[in-house]
Amino acid sequence: MSVLILAIAIILAVMSLTQKNTVPAVISFVMMMFLLGIYYIFMGEKLLGLFQIFVYTGGIVVLTLFGVTVVGSKFPKFEIRPWAVSVVTLVIIGLIIIPFLLPDIPYEGKAIPLKDQVKIFTDFYGQIAIFMSVVAASILYGSIRMLHTLKHGKE
């Protein structure tokens, strides 16, 4: 069930970016946020789920609909940036490897006291946090460098 909900949410996320018309894109976005809210409620995090539904499918979508009235029914044509696909593919592959590197946390079925949560982070995730910060810094450096190159290329 959870796999189904998450798969539909991801498909709707992709649809909201690939639609050429504005209203279907907004509807896909709303449905994705609603499904994520339902998923949180299924998880047992009712407050978070209700917050998600109220804020995203309520408030933010009204703002985007206001934006749609400015844009009109169709999105403007845009230039595809091919390097974006390659960068994103590399980032996704890099990030997908990380959960499998994580060590198992001793979980006994009840909430861990807040004092111990910091200890768990430092004991289990400290080294991975350093690794991730190095990766993030290199991505940041690469993107700034790429922007610099693109700007000078245009001139």
Partner 1 sequence: MVHFYIDAIAAIILFGVGLYGVTSKSDFLKIFFSLEMLLNAVILLLASAAYNFGLTKGLAIAYVIIVIATLEAAAGVLIFILANRITGEIIPDHLDKAVSDE
For residue 74, list its beta bridge partners. 21
> What is the distance between the alpha carbons of residues 5 and 16, in angstroms, rounded to a whole number?
16
What does the per-residue mask of binding to partner 1 show for 19-48, with x meaning CB under 8 A? ---x--x---x--xx--x--xx--xxx--x
- Amino acid identity for residue 27 in this structure: I
> What is the distance between the alpha carbons of residues 115 and 25, in angstroms, rounded to a whole number?
44
Q: Is 153 in the site for partner 1 (CB under 8 A)?
A: no
DSSP annotation string for 44-100: T-HHHHHHHIIIIIIIIHHHHHHHHHHH-SBPPP----HHHHHHHHHHHHHHHHHHH
- Kindly identify the residues of this chain, within the stretch 45-104, that bind partner 1 according to CB under 8 A: 45, 48, 51-52, 55-56, 59-60, 63-64, 66-68, 70-71, 75-76, 78-81, 84-85, 87-89, 91-92, 95-96, 99-100, 104
Q: Between 107 and 153, whose beta carbon lies closer to partner 1?
A: 107
Residue 45 — φ and ψ, nearest 5°? -90, 75
- Amino acid identity for residue 72 in this structure: G
Give the interface with partner 1 as residue ranges (CB under 8 A): 2-3, 6-7, 9-10, 13-14, 16-17, 22, 25, 29, 32-33, 36, 39-40, 43-45, 48, 51-52, 55-56, 59-60, 63-64, 66-68, 70-71, 75-76, 78-81, 84-85, 87-89, 91-92, 95-96, 99-100, 104-105, 107, 110-112, 114, 117, 120
